[in-house]
Structure 1
Amino acid sequence: MNISDVTVRFGSFTAVDGVSLEVPAGRVTGLVGESGSGKSTLARAAAGLTPYRGTVSGVEPGRVQMVFQDPYSSLNPRMTLGDAIAEGTRVPRPRRPAEVARLLELVSLPSSYAAKYPRELSGGQRQRVAVARALAARPEVLIADEITSALDVCVQGAVLNLLRDLRAELGLTMLFISHNLAVVRYVCDAVAVMRHGRLVESGPVEEVITTPQHAYTRALLAAVPRLAHT
Structure 2
Amino acid sequence: MNISNVTVRFGSFTAVDDVSLTVAEGHVTGLVGESGSGKSTLARAVAGLTPYEGTISGIARGRVQMIFQDPYSSLNPRMSVGDAIAEGVRVPRKERSAEIARLLELVSLPASYATKYPSELSGGQRQRVAVARALAARPEVLIADEITSALDVSVQGSVLNLMRELRSELGLTMLFISHNLAVVRYVCDAVAVMRHGRLLESGPVDEVIGAPQHPYTRALLDAVPRLTHA
Report the TM-score, using the length of structure 2 for normalisation: 0.99
The residue aligned with 2:170 is 170
Deviation at 1:33, TM superposition (A): 0.1
Q: List gaps (5 residues or longer) in structure 1.
A: none
Deviation at 1:72, TM superposition (A): 1.5
The residue aligned with 2:95 is 95
Q: Which runs of 4+ in 1 moved over 3 A?
A: none
The residue aligned with 1:60 is 60
Which residue identity does 1:7 align to in structure 2?
T
Which residue identity does 1:84 align to in structure 2?
A
RMSD over aligned Cα, in angstroms?
0.7
Q: List gaps (5 residues or longer) in structure 2.
A: none
Looking at structure 1, the residues matched to 173 and 94 of structure 2 have their Cα atoms a distance apart, in angstroms, of 29
Which residue identity does 1:68 align to in structure 2?
F
Looking at structure 1, the residues matched to 95 and 156 of structure 2 have their Cα atoms a distance apart, in angstroms, of 32
Looking at structure 2, the residues matched to 229 and 65 of structure 1 have their Cα atoms a distance apart, in angstroms, of 33
Number of residues paired by the alignment? 230
Deviation at 1:229, TM superposition (A): 5.1
Paired residue secondary structure (2:65): strand
The residue aligned with 1:7 is 7
> Identity of counterpart residues, as a percentage?
84
The residue aligned with 1:181 is 181
Looking at structure 1, the residues matched to 149 and 228 of structure 2 have their Cα atoms a distance apart, in angstroms, of 21
Looking at structure 2, the residues matched to 48 and 224 of structure 1 have their Cα atoms a distance apart, in angstroms, of 32
The residue aligned with 1:113 is 113
Looking at structure 2, the residues matched to 228 and 185 of structure 1 have their Cα atoms a distance apart, in angstroms, of 11
Are the equivalent residues in 1 in contact too, given 2:143–2:175 (CA < 8 A)?
Answer: yes
Deviations 1:68-108 (CA, angstroms, capped at 9, x unpaired) = 00011110000000000001111111111110000000000
The residue aligned with 1:140 is 140
Paired residue secondary structure (1:166): helix
Looking at structure 2, the residues matched to 229 and 76 of structure 1 have their Cα atoms a distance apart, in angstroms, of 43
Looking at structure 2, the residues matched to 96 and 72 of structure 1 have their Cα atoms a distance apart, in angstroms, of 25
Which residue identity does 2:38 align to in structure 1?
G
Which residue identity does 1:195 align to in structure 2?
R
Deviation at 1:228, TM superposition (A): 2.4
Looking at structure 1, the residues matched to 11 and 143 of structure 2 have their Cα atoms a distance apart, in angstroms, of 26
